[in-house]
Structure 1
Amino acid sequence: MQTEITKLLGIEYPIIQGGMAWVAEHHLAAAVSAAGGLGLIGGANAPAEVIRNEIREARKLTDKPFGVNVMLMSPHAEEIAKVVVEEGIKVVTTGAGSPEKYMQMWKEAGIVVIPVVASVALARRMERSGADAIVAEGTESGGHIGEATTMTLVPQVVDAVNIPVIAAGGIADGRGMAAALMLGAKAVQIGTRFVVANESIVHENYKDRVVAAKDIDSAVTGRSHGHPVRSLRNAMTREYGKLEAEGKSFEELEYLTLGTLRKAVMEGDVVNGTVMAGQIAGLINKKQSSKEIIDEIMSEATNLLKNAGSLV
């Protein structure tokens, strides 16, 4: 399946793996890229030299294209922005801010820049600043989220910009992919389903929690302070919700969650850790290799789109 995005990125299938903090490291990124999608290494809050090493380790595992997600709120964002140039990375996605200050440097290095946005206004701004494509991410996603749903956001962003749009949020199978393409997207970005991939370094407790999740098992914390985060319900989300309802300050609430994502991902604490996952977790019921995930999604999406054509 060739689209504007597969041609732009030099990949086989229009599937991009989300740049998830503590999850999207070189094993997963390389496996997704080797399977024909675009794997991403998540910069998160990691120091620049850690990301440099991740890039080099990924190159040992695949000769296919992969990218880096730069989390712009990171204290190391500026150094990472330079590392991706020095290491010859050809695709960068960005989150948690605007990449405008790095755009000239990246464009001069021939890097394809794809910001993740949660609104039409930011999508337009990113296009004006020189972005090559946009990830329109709906509120169904895990982790930090906006308010608009994928179903409403994607077509509005498609209509608002002239660069290709990638849909994200609530997509985990071929039905979601086919729907996104019908909304005008040229590719999909998938996070939660790749969390449970065999190549994902996420603790088995975390993977099991995602596989066991039901449709109503995610909760959003942090809305009162303008920093909403979606994760699976547990003791931590309940305590956060209680303190948030009591009117605690953003700093107090941030302290409660400090290090809890790492605790869940690396140590398997799914009770007091932050188990970030999208609403689509209720649809995910098995662990597979990245190749099996991509092949299954592509087969289902292709058949659905063919059948849709026959109905016209």
Structure 2
Amino acid sequence: MTGPAPFPTALTELTGVRYPIVQTGMGWVAGPRLVSASANAGALGILASATMTVGQLRTAVREVKSRTGAPFGVNLRADAGDAGERVKILIDEGVRVASFALAPSRDLIVRLKDAGVIVIPSVGARRHAEKVAAWGADAVMVQGGEGGGHTGEVATTVLLPQVVDAVGIPVIAAGGFHDGRGLVAALAYGAAGIGMGTRFLLTSDSTVPDAVKAKYLAATVKDVTVTDRVDGLPHRMLRTAMVDSLERSGRAASLLRALRHASAFRRETRTSWHRLLRDGMAMRHGRELTWSQVLLAANTPMLLKASLVEGRTDIGVMASGQVAGVIGDLPSCSELVARVMDEARAVLKALPAPG
């Protein structure tokens, strides 16, 4: 592998990757092509599995393995009804890392760790990090409010040091990162590396349609908004006519739209209505969601697929971190990772020596 020299941190030592950079598991975006390109570039590529059937997941894992010999991971939904089946695939196929968008159960963590799989949950609050650390997680990714998709209200610069101080495991910083300066800043806060989603979405290795990438590149920071009208939870995305329509819709229109998308998602993933509603109820637990939001919570991936796969931004949504407003090019994953590491070393070298 060519490129900058290795940059050891607790994250690289734990996972075996060359650089302390994680390409996060974005639904419909983080498929075999992007994951293998990220892994070959020296980062930790994470395959997004929530939008795949169990059979598709196994096929995707094997495709990544055929494209790279470097370590990679798979992102799982801990609350999915078939989470156990998916965990078995990771174990059977020798996947290095399991990441989770929601905190996995203690039993899932134990099962994975017993099989030698590294467990890295994603969290948005200090108490969640403390919980999964106590259950045996190997590391944790903490996403601040700048991050794309489901997000919280606390900025990375406030949340990250809280988590670093609270847990004794490696912490990966996510939300607002796109360059070497951000990596150095995260390391200064005590993180072991950074996670980037939108920045990897906007690479030449990403399968997102070019016309959609152009919309991301044209966005300003103010064009990236947070709405709860997709599934009842704060969701950071580009403001589009579709988002405006969702925010104007009444309850009846929202319910009809939710039913239509739920039906499409059920066909796409071969999910029964029973499982679809069960997963939706799991998301509803502890939250004040309407039934239309429950349905949308279970099939929001269809709204993302419309834009990120089919290029239909008129009927889909475009999850995005705020960094979309400061990104202006489409490098390859190899070029991106090399650039970030070169920038990081230059920044470290330019820091004033302590007096």
TM-score (norm 1): 0.94
Counterpart Cα distance in 1 of 2:309 and 2:55: 20
Deviation at 1:74, TM superposition (A): 3.2
Aligned counterpart, 1:153: 159
The answer to whether the aligner puts 1:238 opposite 2:244 as a matched pair is: yes
Tell me: CA distance 1:101–1:246, structure 2 relative to 1, closer, same or farther (3 Å): same
The answer to whether the aligner puts 1:71 opposite 2:77 as a matched pair is: yes
The answer to whether the aligner puts 1:43 opposite 2:43 as a matched pair is: no
Amino acid at match of 1:259: M
Counterpart Cα distance in 2 of 1:231 and 1:200: 18
Amino acid at match of 1:250: T
Aligned pair partner of 2:291 in 222, 241, 251? 251
Contact kept, 8 Å, 2:73 with 2:98, in 1: the verdict is yes
The answer to whether the aligner puts 1:84 opposite 2:90 as a matched pair is: yes
Aligned pair partner of 1:33 in 39, 49, 71? 39
Deviation at 1:273, TM superposition (A): 1.0
Aligned counterpart, 1:139: 145
Aligned counterpart, 2:310: 267
The answer to whether the aligner puts 1:305 opposite 2:345 as a matched pair is: no
Aligned counterpart, 2:195: 189
Counterpart Cα distance in 2 of 1:130 and 1:121: 15
Counterpart Cα distance in 1 of 2:77 and 2:301: 17
Contact kept, 8 Å, 2:212 with 2:313, in 1: the verdict is yes
Tell me: CA distance 1:258–1:82, structure 2 relative to 1, closer, same or farther (3 Å): closer
Counterpart Cα distance in 2 of 1:22 and 1:208: 17
The answer to whether the aligner puts 1:107 opposite 2:147 as a matched pair is: no
Counterpart Cα distance in 1 of 2:70 and 2:301: 35
Contact kept, 8 Å, 2:22 with 2:194, in 1: the verdict is yes
Aligned pair partner of 1:52 in 33, 58, 66? 58
Deviation at 1:104, TM superposition (A): 1.5
Alignment of 1:178-217 (within 5 A): 178-217=184-223
Counterpart Cα distance in 1 of 2:183 and 2:232: 29
Counterpart Cα distance in 2 of 1:28 and 1:207: 15
Contact kept, 8 Å, 2:37 with 2:333, in 1: the verdict is yes
Q: Percent identity between the aligned chains?
A: 38
SS in 2 for 1:39: strand
1:114-173 CA deviation, whole Å, 9 max, x = no partner? Answer: 000000000000001000001011111111112211111100000000001000001011
Tell me: CA distance 1:73–1:161, structure 2 relative to 1, closer, same or farther (3 Å): same
Deviation at 1:246, TM superposition (A): 11
1:154-213 CA deviation, whole Å, 9 max, x = no partner? Answer: 000000000010000010111211111111111000000100211111111221111111
Contact kept, 8 Å, 2:230 with 2:300, in 1: the verdict is no
Counterpart Cα distance in 2 of 1:7 and 1:151: 25
Larger Rg: 2
Output the aligned Cα RMSD.
2.1
Report how many residues are paired.
312
SS in 1 for 2:194: strand
Amino acid at match of 2:320: A
Counterpart Cα distance in 1 of 2:232 and 2:11: 32
- What are the ranges of 5 or more consecutive residues in structure 2 without an aligned counterpart? 1-6, 255-288
The answer to whether the aligner puts 1:220 opposite 2:260 as a matched pair is: no
Counterpart Cα distance in 2 of 1:14 and 1:215: 26
Amino acid at match of 1:252: S
Tell me: CA distance 1:166–1:287, structure 2 relative to 1, closer, same or farther (3 Å): same
Aligned counterpart, 1:170: 176
Aligned counterpart, 2:336: 293
